[in-house]
Amino acid sequence: MNRREFLLSAAALALAPRTTLAAGARIEILPDEPAGTISPLIYGHFTEHLGGCIYDGIWVGERSRIANVGGIRKSVIDHLKRIQAPVIRWPGGCFADSYNWRDGVGPVDKRPTRTNFWAETDILRKSSGGPQKYEPNRFGTNEFARFCKLAGAEPYFAGNLRSLNAFDFYEWIDYCNSPRGKTSMADLRAQGGDAEPFDVKYWGVGNESWGCGGDFTGDEYAVEFRRFITWVPTFGIDLKYIASGPNGADYAWTHSFFQKMMEHGRGGLNRIFGTALHYYCGTTGNGVANEFDTAGWYELLNRANRMEELVTRHWQVMGGYDPEHRVKLVVDEWGAWHHTADPPIAPNYLWAYYPTLRDALVSSITLDTFNRNAEKVAMANAAQMINNIHTSFLAAEDKFTVTPVYHVFDMYAAHQGNTAVRTVFNAPKVSDPAAKGIFGLAGSCSLRDKRLVLTVTNPDVQNAQETEIAIAGGARIQNARATVLTASDIHARNTFAEPEAVRPAAAAAVQVGSPFIYRFAPASVTRLELDLA
């Protein structure tokens, strides 16, 4: 029996009742201590005109032999529906602040071709052409709105603050949301095939305005932000404006932005839905996604775990100006970030590689952080959705696979809309010196009606964690189901040739008591669904 077979058979038996509770770790769930509602929006995605994200990723064209719906790759639509993808951000990213939305509307044959923002990257500089280098604007506002509708997700538009002005932003909202036949913008929208409004609620005002989005300081950006959101037509929609926020641990940016916004009184904060934090935990070693040792495994997971500190400290800064916390955090770019595969998965693809089991654990650590901080984080968007960075999907021509990252989103979809409840994890830290003090077990728990969803990451490469699980107040567990994501090799990944090398395994439901013992497999992500009597 190989390691994978052993782990999966162990998962099937792990919920068996024990007469004696003797475990090295303990998880106590406190259902009567809610921590806020887990917004489905924190399970959002992001796609940019960057490498193979749009062209050959989402968009294959109406005449493609690849299964599509109006030119949009059908396999992506189907899989997004499965995980109940709630929101998708577009068109960037850095691309957004070089993008004129008018280029991507109206008759397709009249849309201009532009040089893509990313054309000067090494791969594209050497390329002779293609839609990744020379943007054809075939996929524009109408196509993106249709894609979101097909996937069942809300569209989240990132406006261009660096190279367009406030009136352009104003007219883009008019284009998307004005009633059928009532304005020239509505008529223009109809020329693109959509007479009815898109009713877009979520609007980002610039992207990374501390860097590629204008190189502003926080207070300089606040002036621009106010200009963009003042007296914009709502068409009866509660518009949710998202301000460009800090880069990682840049707490000075958060201070500066909120301080400047407060010059006009606290009323100005009422118009901000959230401020956008960006944090990538990056890569390790030589940057190749599947070339790392045990130390590199733990290093990346420790970096992912830093999200807790970033969320907590930025929240504290925001609270100094906004004690009621009307403004929430939006983490609309996050994930690991490795180098482009060599040889590349496809020509002109940038930062495309096959994510490994390690990237799946980066995802579980991050999503559990958001769940635990449900009162703080209103939206999050993994970067990116397909063919780039921390991707859930890989596609090249007619080849397609989901990644280990996707499987974590699938497992965690059960948390969406639930009430996060306080959960206490007591487990010895990983003993390997290379782990540098990483936690032994971490996770989150949520409640809906009488069902608890507990998700747990065991980062230990070698050791399972025998754990006592108890429900405070003496509640009895009636049924339990386990789903486990792990593999025999921590470098395992799904490729076009082996699309199921990493996939979850479900154990049959069994009767259990409370408390009970569960063995968390090494290097694993586990979802336990517990039905209370």
Amino acid at 382: A
411 and 429 in a common domain: no
Instruction: Tell how far CA 94 is from the center of its chain.
Output: 17
Task: Report the b/e string of 389-422 with b at 16+ CB within 10 A.
Answer: bbbbbbbbeeebbbbbbbbbbbbbbbbbebbbbb
79 and 30 in a common domain: no
Which of 416, 451, 469 corresponds to the end of one domain? 416
Q: State the pLDDT at residue 475.
A: 87
Q: State the pLDDT at residue 533.
A: 86
45 and 17 in a common domain: no
Q: CATH number of the domain that 511 lies in?
A: 2.60.40.1180
Q: Prior bond to 179 cis, omega within 30?
A: no
For 427, the domain range is 3-36+420-532
Q: In what helix (H) or strand (E) does residue 472 lie, and over which residues does it extend? A: none
284 and 233 in a common domain: yes
Q: Is 383 helix (H, G, I), strand (E, B) or coil?
A: strand
CB count, 10 Å around CB of 2?
A: 8
Non-local CB neighbours of 260 within 8 Å, separated by 6+ positions: 218, 219, 222, 223
Q: Give the pLDDT confidence of 220-230 residue by residue, as tens digits.
A: 999 999 999 99
pLDDT exceeds 50 at position 14: no
63 and 9 in a common domain: no
Number of domains in the chain: 2
Which of 391, 416, 441 corresponds to the end of one domain? 416
441 and 363 in a common domain: no
Instruction: State the angle between helix axes of 307-321 and 357-372 in degrees (0 to 180), rounded to the nearest 10.
Output: 30
Q: State the pLDDT at residue 19.
A: 32
Question: Does the predicted model carry a pTM greater than 0.75?
Answer: yes
Q: What is the 3-state secondary structure (H, E, C) of 262-299?
A: HHHCHHHHHHCCEEEEEEEEECCCCCCCCCCCHHHHHH
Count, residues in the chain: 533
Catalytic (active-site) positions: 208, 333
Which of 397, 416, 435 corresponds to the end of one domain? 416
Non-local CB neighbours of 467 within 8 Å, separated by 6+ positions: 23, 24, 25, 26, 27, 427, 441, 517, 518, 519, 520
16 and 161 in a common domain: no
Q: In what helix (H) or strand (E) does residue 167 lie, and over which residues does it extend? A: helix 166-177
251 and 349 in a common domain: yes
Q: Give the pLDDT confidence of 417-428 residue by residue, as tens digits.
A: 999 999 999 999
96 and 7 in a common domain: no
CA gyration radius, the chain: 23
Question: What is the average pLDDT score of the chain?
Answer: 94
524 and 430 in a common domain: yes
Q: Give the pLDDT confidence of 170-212 residue by residue, as tens digits.
A: 999 999 999 999 999 999 999 999 999 999 999 999 999 999 9
268 and 356 in a common domain: yes
Q: State the pLDDT at residue 267.
A: 74
Mean pLDDT of 236-253: 97
Decide: 423 and 43 in contact? Cβ < 8 Å. Answer: no
Decide: 203 and 89 in contact? Cβ < 8 Å. Answer: no
Q: Give the pLDDT confidence of 61-77 residue by residue, as tens digits.
A: 999 999 999 999 999 99
Rounded to a whole number of angstroms, the distance between the first and last alpha carbons of the chain is 37
Of 119, 214, 116, nearest to 161 by C-alpha is 214
Q: What is the 3-state secondary structure (H, E, C) of 233-247?
A: CCCCCCCEEEEEEEE
Q: CATH number of the domain that 277 lies in?
A: 3.20.20.80
180 and 325 in a common domain: yes
